Amino acid sequence: MNATKSYRLILADDHALFLSGLTGLLSRRPECTVVGTATNGRECLDLMHSTVYDVALIDIDMPVMNGIEATEQAIAENPDAKIITLSMHSDEEYYFRMVEAGAKGFILKNSELDEVVTAIKCVAEGGTYFSQELLQSLVGELRPQRSSVISEEQLSDREKEILGLICKGYSNQEIAQELFISKRTVDKHRANILEKTGCRNTASLVIWAIRHSLIEI
């Protein structure tokens, strides 16, 4: 029997009770090993510099340096950094700011622990994860903004297929296995999709796909 893979986590939140509770809950899961905790963005960045980790879960509202600033700086220093936003806020403003900053996932603090662990696994393996509750709350805001300029020909059928899997959180390797093509081919398609849509990162493709009704929520 294969041993359960454990992901090394950094947690950052300025509410001591929440941070302690989440640390305790995740530490009881075989998939998770908490390697550091921080109470502000600056402490979190220091940990990311000095600690070997797989995923950082970062709150937005923190003193000294907030989660958005910390994420922007972390991604500027290491574009491959895997960051999940933990927030009480489900509104559009916070979502877009963290996606633009480079977060690979966004989950709400009232999420079930199983969903948090699912998000960690997904992002750690190279995918993206966004709370279904969050996406549902955004659909009403995004759908009316659908552009009349978008055409069915903007993306090829294969690109739409790959986009759908990206939005489900599949990594490039998983997409390659699912579609029986090489990872290099997936890499090329993903780059083409980003260029055609004008998205800065793969996380923002989720919003683009919702905005243009290419995926179901």
Residues 164-203: tens digit of each pLDDT: 888 777 878 888 999 999 999 999 998 898 888 887 776 6
* 24 and 52 together in one domain: yes
User: Which domain-ending residue is among 111, 140, 169?
Assistant: 140
Mean pLDDT of the chain: 84
- When mean pLDDT is compared across 118-122, 137-141, 188-192, the lowest value belongs to 137-141
The C-alpha torsion from 215 through 55 and 3 to 116, rounded to 10°, is -50
Tell me the average pLDDT across 1-24.
89
Instruction: Count CA atoms within 13 Å of residue 24 on its CB side.
Output: 6
Confidence label for 45 from pLDDT (cuts 50, 70 and 90): very high
- pLDDT at 22 > cutoff 80: yes
Tell me the average pLDDT across 12-40.
95
Distance, CA of 122 to CA of 82 (rounded, Å): 10
Q: How many domains does the chain contain in total? A: 2
Residue 66 falls within a domain, yes or no?
A: yes
Residue 1 falls within a domain, yes or no?
A: no
Residue 217 falls within a domain, yes or no?
A: no
Nearest Cα to Cα of residue 69 among 59, 79, 78? 59
Residues 6+ apart with CB under 8 A from 44: 10, 12, 38, 56, 58, 65, 70, 74
Distance, CA of 70 to CA of 98 (rounded, Å): 10
* 111 and 162 together in one domain: no
Indicate the burial class of 92 (C-beta count within 10 angstroms; 0-12, 13-18, 19 or more).
middle
* 70 and 114 together in one domain: yes
* 68 and 16 together in one domain: yes
Q: What is the CATH number of the domain that holds 12?
A: 3.40.50.2300
Q: What is the pLDDT of residue 42?
A: 96
User: Which domain-ending residue is among 116, 140, 164?
Assistant: 140
- pLDDT at 137 > cutoff 80: no
Residue 216 falls within a domain, yes or no?
A: no
User: What residues make up the domain containing 158?
Assistant: 146-211
Residue 65 falls within a domain, yes or no?
A: yes
Q: What is the CATH number of the domain that holds 181?
A: 1.10.10.10
Q: What is the pLDDT of residue 90?
A: 58
* 162 and 68 together in one domain: no
* 125 and 33 together in one domain: yes
Tell me the average pLDDT across 109-126.
91
- pLDDT at 6 > cutoff 60: yes
User: Which domain-ending residue is among 92, 120, 140?
Assistant: 140
